[in-house]
Structure 1
Amino acid sequence: MEKSYPGGRNFVRNSFLHRGFPAVGLDTVMESLAPSTLHQYNSYYQKWWSFCIKSEKNPYSYSLNLLISFLTEEYKKGASYATLNSQYASLLLLFNIDAIDKAHLKRFLKGVSKKNPPKPKYQTTWDPTCVLGFLSSWYPLEELPTSQLTQKMVTLLALVTGHRIQTLSKIKISNIIYFEDKLEIRIPDSIKTSSCKNFQPALVIPYFREEPKLCLASVIDVYIKKTKDTRPNDTDYLVLTYKKPIHPASSQRFSNWIKLTLKSSGIDMSQFSAYSTRHAATSAAYRAGVSIEQIRKTVGWTKNSSMFNRFYNRPLGLDSTEFAKAILTLK
């Protein structure tokens, strides 16, 4: 057996072959796995491979004892419940694990969750008004340099839609439908939540004419006109890099631009990431009276999803001494 890790894609392919899966269908099976999933799983597979080689075991062979030993070692190294759960999910793809062993593994993971309960990434969130106030100063739109116009657009997209950055990076000009009072942007490409059971997202962006400095629909219109002459002929993606060579912006580039804008707005980026726009936007909408049902529908959560209440609905980071000061000043 080879000692060198073959890479995530080849490891998955080889695992199917080891289980007797017909080689003729392997390419189709691999198409079922999103590149982002394989990228995430690759680090888990590398750890599993190293563990098996060190233990002088075959990485393609499963045993309950070996898998429990692996997860236990990762837990002792500091892996959280969420990480262990993801590692378990990645390994389910490699092996035929029967129902009894799955029950044992789930019991093990439940024990981990009891000892070290999963926590939301953020305990508090930030107030979008400070960011919106900052972005209001970037006006008139036609006079902004492409860099500022791009950063303003992607940050407003993240806040106004509440969607994942990956989804926003898939926006194409040909999928923008214009109405008198709004834009509707359809996302037919495969994204994290794509499945036969879920609808693909449609982003609805109104023309906010009463506040033109923050009208995202107008920002998009100006951006398309401004980049028309520099846009590569074969590029339909809305958001492009503004430094040569010009090409469609990646999710990572989106994140970098959003982080730069948030930091300039006064947000503490040592505490928050670009993805925190999703927490800030949904929490602000809820505080403003938008129903949980409408929030779920807008940002792409399913009807019965508890994601908002469990992980996204966060209070603002208030002064923790406020209560004590109020008591001490009573007369």
Structure 2
Amino acid sequence: MALARLGLDEAPAAIAQASAFFRRVPPQDTPSVPPSQPYIEELHRCWPDPRSLSHYTSDSRALASMQNASKHGLDRMPDVEPTIASLIVAPEEVLRPNARCPRPQCRITDDLLTKCYDTAARMGRIGNSLSHLILALSQSLQSSSADASVQSLSDTSLQAFAFMTRELGRLMSSLTLARRQVWLAQSPLSEPCRRTLRTLPVVPGELFGLAAQQALDRGIQANQTWQQFASLRGATSLPRQQPPQGPHQLLSDPINPGGLPQGQHPRHRGVRGRGFPPPQGPKRTWGQSLLEKKPSASTLRVYVAAISSRHIKVDSQTVGSHSLVTRFLKGAQQRNPPRAVRVPSWDLPLVLGALRLPPVEPLDQAPLKWLSAKSAFLLGIASAKRASELHALSVSEQCIRWNSDGTGVALWPNPSFFPKRLPSAHYNQVIELAAYGPSHPPDEEASSAELLCPVRALRCYIQETAGFRQSDALFVCYGGPRKGQALSRQRLSKWVVEVIEEAYKSRGLPLPLNIRGHSTRSVSTSWAALRGVPLSEICAAASWASACTFARFYRVNVAAHHAVAAAVFQEPSGPS
């Protein structure tokens, strides 16, 4: 019955062959359904112009409505993830809800693919309503004990609808892959990397998905490792033809193990620029000349690792694991042990006291230079973040949230920012700052704390730079030809150093030596530990994986020195 309604004839009966020697297999024609005139007319209504009949009726909108459509990929074309977009477009474009292709022709193709997907998604939502109707009709026929021919029509309709649904899903998946290709074709990635990202399984509601983020993270880490290895490999291009017979010869001259006179070996040319000093004389080994410069143990381990990566095994062991080399490294470390900095190079209370005085205060009258520097310094002290993490902060609506009552602010880094380390717990961590408001009635201590409020400084800084700002980056240049553009990380660190230097100059004190912008992390976290802040909170704020990092490399002695000698030698008051 169903085949007859579709215009398909029954299978023809086999025709008797005239001869037993000339038998032929009867040809089997592929059945084809004749065109349905109402269907073709409706299909061709929008064929000349896709924009025709774009004003949907109420019935059309009702049939195309669907709950949780975006969860099932039937809402609209998924946006490009910021991780992928950051490889192609500018950081300001990444923060947009729907980033656009930078190339005009690719943008046109991307827009057409998006419209095709949106139309297919609308078709899928209508198909969802149609499936409910067809299934309800089939159940009604089964419950009413309908005729077998009618039930056959219903079953065939369900089967045809299922096939059409599969093809629609294949179409939407292909459109997603096509849009992936449009974006990946503009990226600087290699072809194998593009192929990997393009062939990732399509997840409904996502363009690339979480798998692309994980693949890029692995690729970035592998690329960094390879670059480090390549730099070490280029610095230690050891000849394989004449390897030294033992580690003692390797330490004598790793660049010229064959014993050629200095200057005749081709690898001695320009070797000083690659990090390995040539031997200083025939009686002084390379290891001895290197030890006289008192390198750190980590520097020596890098040298050994570089040599070991290009050298053949000695006594069935790598050069780095040989007993003579390990003893050499151990002796070098004992001769020049690591010296951790235990005393801060500058005084935090002194700098904070200077930030309460002119030219920094009052803020509404302070020069833009010192307003910018004070905001950067207070934010670095309050957050204990690296300069790169402060540089990644943004003033876009997605990256900054002010409390409605004015009691604080929350800051997020730019989504395209990759931190120095990628621990999952501290990746793109939010920075929450609380405002220091004056108490009631206001006293001197409360007003002094308010002058050091980072929220107050940030609010004033953003308002002052709004008129000439050309970038969504939090910190922008306040003058020069790049006024209003994003500030570099190096210049941001320089702002912090200038605040410290100006504080000492205002007090007439000599400038501390070796001031670095990175020192704010050690000073702020050490003061926090002194005031009783738990180490877990300190490590979370500074993005450290464990407290050992803080204890070994960052903790300094910021406690005030007690005047013990003055108390001991003080003359007693009163009658003796």
> Quick check: TM above 0.5?
yes
Amino acid at match of 1:144: A
Change (3 A) 1:110 1:204: farther
Q: Which secondary structure does the structure 2 equivalent of 1:239 belong to?
A: coil
Shift of 1:310: 1.6
Contact between 2:352 and 2:452, CA under 8 Å: does it hold in 1?
A: yes
Relative contact order higher in (CA < 8 Å, ≥ 6 apart): 1
Aligned position for 1:200 = 428
Q: Could you say which residue in structure 1 is the equivalent of 2:386?
A: 164
Shift of 1:206: 1.2
Residues 307/140 of structure 1: CA separation in 2 closer, same or farther (3 Å cut): same
State the AA in 2 paired with 1:182: G
Question: What's the counterpart of residue 243 of structure 2?
Answer: none
The runs of 5 or more residues in structure 1 that have no matched partner are 1-22, 60-65
Identity across matched positions, percent: 22
Q: 1:81 aligns with which of 271, 276, 297?
A: 297
1:10-159 to 2 correspondences below 5 Å: 31-32=220-221, 48=236, 52=255, 56=265, 74-85=290-301, 91=306, 100-104=318-322, 108-124=328-344, 126-137=346-357, 138-159=360-381
Deviations 1:26-49 (A, max 9, x none): 9989844788x969x96x778657
User: 2:552 is matched by which residue type in structure 1?
Assistant: R
Unaligned runs of 5+ in 2: 1-189, 195-215, 239-253, 257-261, 269-277, 279-284, 439-448
Q: CA deviation at 1:328?
A: 3.8
Partner deviation per Cα, 1:114-171 (whole Å, 9 max, x = no partner): 2221112453454422211211222332222211110101111111111112221111
CA distance in 2, matches of 1:243, 1:124: 32
* 309 and 32 in structure 1: CA distance in 2 versus 1, 3 angstrom threshold: closer
Tell me the equivalent position of 2:543: 300
Q: Displacement of 1:178 after TM fit?
A: 2.5
Contact 2:536–2:547 under 8 Å retained in 1:
no
SS in 2 for 1:280: helix
Q: C-alpha separation between the residues in 2 aligned to 1:34 and 1:208?
A: 45
Larger Rg computed on CA atoms: 2
User: Which amino acid in 2 is paired with 1:241?
Assistant: C
- Aligned-residue offset at 1:102: 4.2
TM-score by length of 1: 0.72
Q: Secondary structure at the match of 1:136?
A: coil
Answer whether contact 2:345 2:514 (CA < 8 A) is retained: no
Cα distance in 2 for residues equivalent to 1:182 and 1:148: 22
CA–CA distance in 2 between the matches of 1:88 and 1:169? Answer: 35
1:124 and 1:317 in contact (8 A); partners too: no
- The aligned counterpart of 1:11 is none
Partner of 2:400: 176
Relative to the length of structure 2, the TM-score reads: 0.44
User: In terms of mean alpha carbon deviation, does 76-85 or 98-107 score higher?
Assistant: 98-107
Q: Specify the alignment match of 2:465 in structure 1.
A: 227
Residue 437 of structure 2 aligns with which residue? 209
Quick one: distance in 2 between partners of 1:218 and 1:149? 11
Name 2:478's counterpart in structure 1: 242
- The one-letter amino acid paired with 1:161 is S
Q: Counterpart of 2:401 in 1: which secondary structure?
A: strand
Q: Distance in 1 between matches of 2:223 and 2:456?
A: 34
Between the two proteins, the alignment pairs up a number of residues equal to: 293
Asked if the contact 1:194–1:200 (Cα under 8 Å) also holds between the matched residues in 2, the reply is no
For residues 266-294 of structure 1, give each alpha carbon's deviation from its aligned partner in whole angstroms, at most 9, with x where no partner exists. 28431532222212111111111112121
Q: Per the alignment, do residues 77 and 126 of structure 1 end up closer, same or farther by CA in structure 2, a change over 3 Å counting?
A: closer
